[in-house]
Amino acid sequence: MVLGGEDVAGGPADVGAEHEMPGLMEMRRRYGASKPLAGARIAGSLHMTIQTGVLIETLVALGADVRWATCNIFSTQDHAAAAVVVGDGTAENPTG
């Protein structure tokens, strides 16, 4: 996904979200290759922010099939929601 890089509007601030969540980053590093959540189907509803995007990215990196719904249109960060939809793909060919 593009939340951790320059591809999302606001770029550098988005990288800060990953630094705010060292536990999730460590889980990705430590367990990402083994995909311990493979086969898990996780659904959630939470404010759609960059931090939520990092959580979703982590669940996907650990192998989960994730579906998400924002719970408040006024707190949704559009660029975070767009990044989750695009995933590792492009705007023309989203894979999220």
Contact 66, 58 (CB under 8 A): no
Give the pLDDT confidence score for residue 85 in this predicted structure.
86
pTM: 0.80
DSSP 3-state of 42: strand
pLDDT tens digits along 35-78: 999 999 999 999 999 999 999 999 999 999 999 998 888 989 88
Distance CA 20, CA 23 (A): 9
On the question of pLDDT at 88 being above 90, the answer is: no
Give the pLDDT confidence score for residue 6 in this predicted structure.
43
Indicate the pLDDT class of residue 80, thresholds 50, 70 and 90: confident
Give the pLDDT confidence score for residue 10 in this predicted structure.
47
Beta-carbon contacts of residue 76 (< 8 Å; ≥ 6 apart) = 47, 48, 49, 70
Where are the chain's structural domains?
12-86
